[in-house]
Amino acid sequence: MHKNKQINRILTSIVASMVALSALSQDPGDRPRLVIGIVIDQLNSDCLDLLQSRFGEAGFKRLMREGAFLENVEFDVPDLDIASGTAMLMSGAYPSVNGIQCTYVYDRKHGKPQYILADPSSMGNFTDDAYSPAAYKVSTLADELRVHTSGMGYVHSLAADPQQAILLAGHAANSAFWINDITGNWASTTFYRTSPQILTGRNYRLPLATRLDTMSWVPSIPLDRYPDILSFKKYYPFRYIYSSSDRDRFRKFKKSALANNEVTTVAIEYLNTLKLGRRGQTDMLCLGYTAAPYMYSTDGDNRVENQDLYLRLDQELGRLFAEIDKNVGMSNTLVFVASTGYYYDNTRPAERFNIPTGEFYPERAISLLNMYLMAIYGNGQWVEGYFNRHFFLNHELIKEKKLSLDEVRAKSSELLRQMSGITAAYTFEEILNNPASAEARALHKSTVPAYCGDVVVEVSPGWLIMDRGNDNFDEAKLIRTNAVSTPVFIMGPTVKPQKITTPVEATAIAPTVASILRIRSPNAAQSTPLYLGY
């Protein structure tokens, strides 16, 4: 009898030890089981404030009511776009450190721009495009979560834009999918090892190509309910269709409010089919949405379209949150919603308003600069190329002539500064080695040496850059340098509802989310985490 009791005590002890070890191998019970990371391209605090009375209770209002609302997040670098903004948020590091300078970079070898994530070593899946996160030089929130769970936590990413989908996923994710520009299929890269049957089946069973003809984007509320709209706009509702005869229909669709609906629908399928947040480990689903001004508006005034995009996005968030409530529970979920940190409106004021403006032609600047350098150093093609305000000199010719590269850069900068529409010109050395001015220091943080031109210029606000020399970059770009108020929301069981109006560095978002999850910050995170708890 005594012996049996002793055996029972031993067995009980063993079982208790196994339970304890099991508990140690898993995340503690109060750690969120699901992380929803949402990055919305060009989300603007001013627009949220304008439309707050039109929102429902389940989307943005819920974020404001139940989470921490950081009203003014500062990125503090010039030339932000969807790629660099997303990378900063997920890595906690500036472009100069994380490697993602912008969506496109100049390829000196081929003399033209290419996607920064282009990678011939990775094949496309449902696409001919080859991408990978190889240019991403640091770890991300998604990476650190995968490492923390020893790969047992799932990480998946969905976005209309390929660069955003990959930058949200990072290096260690299970999958990253986006909408193909040519076919409308959900596409990926073989860099990621997992291809969920959800999307493979959707591409065959319910392809966007067969549904798009039946879709149209029209106002979701009566026109007289949109605030701050010119009176004549209230009588002419917009309507956008995506006909099979339009070769750009998938590109146009991806910039519309309907693309956000597609992302949410697939995200809900992921939650249900993959049982994210219900597997005993912390899973992460990253989503990319758009709130960008609709570039395909029919009359150039896209205010109604933009407001409708926000209203529909509010509904998509509500739909996603309702699904989380039903299957995982918001008490088990951490949600963060962030803007990419910029707002690009290419609408040029009509001439009758007499706003100072001008046109800067890079091809003309290249010709003048080349003639100037020939007058000093002799015949030759001294300027190799131009892209996105970066001028690239011919290093081989400079080496062949036994000239100082620093000297030729300085001479080029001197001439460019004198051209109409140029407010400043910085050499490679001034940006990367000795940034004396505040503008040069900001450029330093946003510039990756491998992609930096020999001279970088600033163009006057209000001017248009008429870049006609590169394929797919033949549209005039209006220069605006005004600051943008961009929000971040963080909602979770340990996050105290609050509104923070003081500026917050964008590099603090990743460390803050990591702190709430009690995992390591990304390895290049440059800010300390915010305390948002009770």
Residue 133 has what pLDDT? 98
CA–CA separation, 3 vs 14, rounded Å? 16
Q: Are strands 283-290 and 34-41 parallel, antiparallel or unpaired?
A: parallel
CA–CA separation, 109 vs 327, rounded Å? 51
Do residues 524 and 92 touch, judged by C-beta distance below 8 A? yes
Residue 349 has what pLDDT? 80
Helix (H, G, I), strand (E, B) or coil at 196: coil
This prediction's pTM: 0.92
Q: Please give the DSSP secondary-structure letter assigned to residue 214.
A: G
For tokens 């709430």, what's the residue? 516
CA–CA separation, 383 vs 391, rounded Å? 7
Do residues 102 and 533 touch, judged by C-beta distance below 8 A? no
Domain positions in the chain are: 34-74+88-96+116-345+482-517, 358-478
Encode pLDDT of 25-59 as tens digits: 444 457 899 999 999 999 999 999 999 999 999 99
For residue 321, count CB atoms less than 10 angstroms from its CB and return exposed for 0-12, middle for 13-18, buried for 19 or more.
Answer: buried
Do residues 397 and 335 touch, judged by C-beta distance below 8 A? no
Can you list the residues of the chain whose pLDDT is less than 70? 1-29, 468-475
Any idea which architecture 358-478 has in CATH?
2-Layer Sandwich (3.30)
Largest CA distance in the chain: 107
CA–CA separation, 292 vs 281, rounded Å? 35
CA–CA separation, 32 vs 25, rounded Å? 15
For domain 34-74+88-96+116-345+482-517, the CATH class is alpha beta
